[in-house]
Copies of this chain bind each other. A is one copy, B any other.
Amino acid sequence: MKGNIAVLPGDGIGKEVTKGAVEILEAVAQKFGHEFEFQYGEIGGGAIDNTGSPLPDETVDICRKSDAVLLGAVGGPKWDNHPVDIRPERGLLKIRKELNLYANLRPISYYSSLSEASPLKKELIEGADFVIVRELTGGLYFGKPSERVTREGKDAVVDTLFYTKEEMHRIIKLAFELASNRTKKVTSVDKANVLESSRMWRETAEEIAKEYPDVTLEHMLVDNAAMQLIRNPKQFDVVVTENLFGDILSDEASVLTGSLGMLPSASISTNGPNLYEPIHGSAPDIAGQNLANPIATILSAASLLRLSFGLEAEANAVEQAVEAVLEKGFRTGDIADEQSTKLSTSEMVAEIKTVL
């Protein structure tokens, strides 16, 4: 098959890890007889420096014309004091809106070969395997008003949590679809004892649950979910929640397995290309030194093959290659211990290519 992939390396290690993932995609193309074209676009701090905008129109254009988008990471201390509208992460928020990326999927999986890396005791985390489905374009992120106000003569401020029922419906439905193909449990996280939006969320989940009689629906308050993720992460299969709760819980969950540098994510569009990116950030401290772990981005590329191109065998091949290399004891610095063979970014990519 032929595929057009937009590549947005972004800042810091984003450049190195996307380079690695593109090499793997090229190797997959060669091995399985596909043709991928890569178009590069700017996003984040570098884009601000070169164009004044964290997401230039040209980049949006490149993405819209593509079948799938592969993103590295954005941000760095250089842009930390910029006014809020021209910060690198505005590029992320904007691309979500522009491409209608309404759902962010974050699979959290435990790697037995990395059992020492988890902050949790082994018996708690061993075998954990769940997906957090985060709503990505609503809630407090884009609600208006979001501004300074004066109330009874006092300085005050207001932000707005806004959702349409439709927005809730499509994301919760997606979670049920996912759960149908997994172990058939959806944990819907909300704060229904306080928020009206959470009460609508809960009702919507109940309605959708009726269409999926073989999937169990469980409601969990967000404060309890923050506890349960640590106490008993193995209880989860698919967790679905609104934007800000998802932001907090998915970052919390991402450190549980000790393999932040290994975790991919996929953002699903309503109508255009999906976007794939590692969960980790741009890691300015190690950028440009060939030290970054490329695996999260390579696994994001595997999701791209599966979800955007339907190339299941190819996706599996990449995932198995990663596991094989880990089992041989090869590690980048972030996950290395005494027993492992420490590799640079490019060496890790090369090893994965070898076993592909």
Q: Which of A25-33, A248-256, A289-297 lies at the binding interface?
A: A248-256
In the bound complex, residues from chain B placing their C-beta under 8 Å from that of A141 are: 194
A154-162, A171-179, A311-319, A331-339 - the one binding chain B = A154-162
Residue A34, interface by CB 8 Å: no
Does the CB pair B164–A154 fall under 8 Å?
yes
Cβ-based interface call for A1 (8 A): no
Docked Cα-Cα span, A294 to B342, in Å, equals 50
Q: List 14 A-B contacts (CB under 8 A).
A: A87-B193, A119-B230, A120-B121, A141-B194, A155-B166, A156-B162, A159-B160, A159-B161, A159-B195, A226-B226, A226-B251, A226-B252, A230-B255, A230-B256
Within 8 A of B (CB), among A190-211: 191-197, 199-200
How distant is A262 from chain B, measured CB to nearest CB, in Å? 15
Complexed CA–CA distance, A197 and B248 (Å): 17
Closest to A250 in B: B223
Interface positions of A from 225 to 240, Cβ below 8 Å from B: 226-227, 229-231
Cα(A318)–Cα(B139), bound, Å: 46
Query: Inside 8 A of A165's CB, which chain B residues have their CB?
Result: 154-157
How far apart are the CA atoms of A325 and B229 in the complex, in Å?
Answer: 31
Which of B196, B224, B227, B244 makes the CB contact (< 8 A) with A158?
Answer: B196
Tell me whether A128 is interfacial, beta carbon within 8 Å.
no
Complex Cα distance, B156 from A252, in Å, reads 29
Chain B residues with CB under 8 A of A249 = 226
Shortest C-beta distance, A240 to chain B (Å), equals 17
Beyond A121-B121, A255-B231, whether A196 also contacts B147 by CB under 8 A is yes
CB–CB B196/A157 < 8 A: yes
B-contact 0/1 string along A241-266, CB 8 Å cutoff: 00011011111101110000000000
Task: Decide if B162 touches A157 in the complex (CB within 8 Å).
Answer: yes
Contact of A195 among B146, B200, B256 (CB under 8 A): B146
Q: Give the chain B neighbours of A199 by CB distance below 8 A.
A: 84
How many angstroms between the C-alpha atoms of A100 and B192 in the bound complex?
Answer: 23
Cα–Cα distance between A60 and B158 once the two chains are bound (Å): 30
Residues of chain B within 8 A of A146, CB atoms compared: 195-196
Query: Residue A135 at the B interface, CB < 8 A?
Result: no
